[in-house]
Structure 1
Amino acid sequence: MHILITGGTGLIGRTLISKLGDHEITVLTRSPQKAKNVLPSTVTTIADLDELTDFNNIDAVINLAGEPIVDKRWSDRQKGIICSSRWGITEKIVSRILTADNPPKTLISGSAVGYYSDQKDAIVDESLVVDATDFAHAVCANWERIALRARPAKTRVCLLRTGIVLSKEGGALKKMLLPYQLGLGGAIGDGNQYFPWIHIEDMANAIVHLLEKSEHEGAFNLTAPNPVTNREFSQSLAASLDRPHILFTPAFAIKLMLGEAGQLLLEGQRAIPKALEEDGFTFTYKEIRPALDSLLRQ
């Protein structure tokens, strides 16, 4: 297959591309030269969709691009960047799909468990209908709506409602490692909010599954089958590093540091991958402690 990937130089994209060696890969990136330094030499890089003069030769699109959502406070300007970095590229992709004579058969497009808003300790699968007004839900809901506009082209659309991806190479876990290694790690707030996680290997393998082995479409929770609370995750991380677990970060400190964006750390979703497992995908890492040990004790 000829696969177009956005966000290919990110944490998920790099791992995914390493598993797609039998396919022809084109990566859309703002910095093609820098991308060539981190991607296999067989990958073609482009800076603009207009460089693909013929979308008819694209068999599948995997759309992973997006500004990190929790790295900065949500000023009006930052909210605009978060939205445009997701919605804008997805609109362009869908437009090219709809105007192609032989459109891609599959569009796999990013989203996040933030779509569900805060669901406390209720178990959440893809059937949940959400009516919420918070920013994280609004970002994901519109992102999904845009991607689904490709359906009239008879393009199969899969939506990746992704949890917190665990990897030593980047993302949340890499940021947590130093304080935990120093014995300064601990739960956030009361620690009762759910922490929907997924190992980077399962994340990439699940996308490959949806690309190569599935005919289904719609929303898929890319989260491990056994979500844990923030406190349980924190305790497991400390134990995996053989460090104490005696501190915590109070909720007011998170709100002071991150403002509205702090909701992503203080709220949670007990999301389970019902659709993915019913589609035949088997997780390698279902429990948090073995997942962390595999990453931290290599």
Structure 2
Amino acid sequence: MKIAIAGGAGFIGRHLTNALTARGHHVYILTRKPAETEQKNTSYVLWQKNGARPETELTDIDVWINLAGKSLFGRWNEKTKAEIATSRLRSVQESARIIQSLQKKPNTLIQASAVGIYGTSLEQTFTEVSPVSDEDFLSRTTALWEKAAEPIETLGIRTVWMRFGMVLGKDGGALPKMALPYQLFAGGRIGSGQQWVPWIHIEDAVGMILSAIDQPRVSGPVNVTAPNPVQMETFGQTVAKVEKRPHWLPVPEFVIKGVLGEMSMLVLKGQRVLPKKALQHGYHFLYPELEDALHNLLT
């Protein structure tokens, strides 16, 4: 198959590209700057730049994957939040423009989303049928992100919204930053420790995307999380166990808020999210348990 990926140079995109090309698919990575060297089964297509006409190079695409958007990590202020929202909406709008212009449309759209769309809770459990929230910046932005893809779905293209949880990997995402204090013998409870962490190993995140591509019956929202979420206290204790380091130095909420500002909600609040649709469609998790995932990534 021929597969276009916006955001293919990012953390998830890199791993996904490797998996797709290993299967023999040809991947077209939409980028703002040309690559210095091209890899086997990979082409780089300029987009979202003055003069770029990616539609002329994407004439026979089977699957369109949009993972593009400014990283959520870092201190949020009004400027940063505007960039986070705008980058996501623009990538979907440009994807829609290109797809609408193509004579042969892709048969599937895989659109990135986030479990933040459900809002936060210590008590509730969320699945794909749970209502979306508008309680905070992230839930509102994610809802707009999904809605922006509706014009593509109305073309008759099967659309899957991959609602990512916290994706754990060695070379990106939150895990290296979360493990560092333990490696320095300074790890401990973050905030109350009761907030839920909807984690998933990067290999399973990629595996769920591949599964969504392969199964034509899958559409709509899909929670990209492991089947066994844990609370932050357990997450920290498990990191400590795997790293053979103490779990002893608590970090109060006011410290996290002072460092991260409004972005602290990603650390201090959470949601217990289950991948009900993936399980219903028979996805087999490589790393259903946190300790096994961390052993793979940290040792």
Output the TM-score relative to the length of structure 2. Answer: 0.94
The answer (yes or no) to whether the contact 1:97–1:153 under 8 Å persists in 2 is: no
Residue 106 in 1 paired to residue 108 in 2? yes
Q: Structure 2: which 5+ residue stretches go unaligned? A: none
**Closer, same or farther in 2 for the Cα pair 1:265/1:141, shift >3 Å?**
same
How well do the aligned residues superpose, as a CA RMSD in angstroms?
Answer: 1.5
Secondary structure of 2:94 counterpart: helix
| Distance (whole Å) between structure 1 residues aligned to residue 284 and residue 153 of structure 2 | 27
Pairing 1:47-126 to 2, within 5 Å after superposition: 47-48=46-47, 50-53=53-56, 55-71=58-74, 73-126=75-128
Secondary structure of 1:293 counterpart: helix
| Distance (whole Å) between structure 1 residues aligned to residue 101 and residue 117 of structure 2 | 29
Q: Structure 1: which 5+ residue stretches go unaligned? A: none
The answer (yes or no) to whether the contact 1:126–1:275 under 8 Å persists in 2 is: yes
| Distance (whole Å) between structure 2 residues aligned to residue 148 and residue 55 of structure 1 | 21
Amino acid at match of 1:194: W
- Number of aligned pairs? 293
Amino acid at match of 1:253: V
Deviation at 1:55, TM superposition (A): 4.7
| Distance (whole Å) between structure 1 residues aligned to residue 286 and residue 143 of structure 2 | 29
Residue 44 of structure 1 corresponds to 43
Deviation at 1:9, TM superposition (A): 1.2
Deviation at 1:185, TM superposition (A): 1.1
Amino acid at match of 2:169: S
Deviation at 1:133, TM superposition (A): 3.3
| Distance (whole Å) between structure 2 residues aligned to residue 93 and residue 281 of structure 1 | 28
1:1-33 CA distance string (max 9 Å, x none): 111001111111111111112111100112222
Residue 260 of structure 1 corresponds to 262
| Distance (whole Å) between structure 1 residues aligned to residue 225 and residue 12 of structure 2 | 14
The answer (yes or no) to whether the contact 1:115–1:137 under 8 Å persists in 2 is: yes
| Distance (whole Å) between structure 2 residues aligned to residue 152 and residue 288 of structure 1 | 39
| Distance (whole Å) between structure 2 residues aligned to residue 212 and residue 32 of structure 1 | 30
| Distance (whole Å) between structure 2 residues aligned to residue 158 and residue 275 of structure 1 | 11
| Distance (whole Å) between structure 1 residues aligned to residue 122 and residue 59 of structure 2 | 45
| Distance (whole Å) between structure 2 residues aligned to residue 238 and residue 54 of structure 1 | 49
Pairing 1:208-287 to 2, within 5 Å after superposition: 208-287=210-289
Residue 20 of structure 1 corresponds to 20
Residue 184 of structure 1 corresponds to 186
Q: Percent identity?
A: 40
The answer (yes or no) to whether the contact 1:98–1:152 under 8 Å persists in 2 is: no
The answer (yes or no) to whether the contact 1:55–1:97 under 8 Å persists in 2 is: no
Amino acid at match of 1:284: L
The answer (yes or no) to whether the contact 1:195–1:268 under 8 Å persists in 2 is: yes
The answer (yes or no) to whether the contact 2:200–2:224 under 8 Å persists in 1 is: yes
Deviation at 1:239, TM superposition (A): 0.3
Question: Structure 1 stretch 113-122 or stretch 220-229: which is displaced more?
Answer: 113-122
Residue 34 of structure 2 corresponds to 32
The answer (yes or no) to whether the contact 1:4–1:26 under 8 Å persists in 2 is: yes
Amino acid at match of 2:257: K
Question: Structure 1 stretch 54-63 or stretch 253-262: which is displaced more?
Answer: 54-63
Question: Structure 1 stretch 15-24 or stretch 228-237: which is displaced more?
Answer: 15-24
- Once superposed, which parts of structure 1, at least 4 consecutive aligned residues long, lie more than 6 Å away? none
| Distance (whole Å) between structure 1 residues aligned to residue 148 and residue 34 of structure 2 | 26
Deviation at 1:76, TM superposition (A): 1.5
Residue 174 of structure 2 corresponds to 172
Residue 9 of structure 1 corresponds to 9
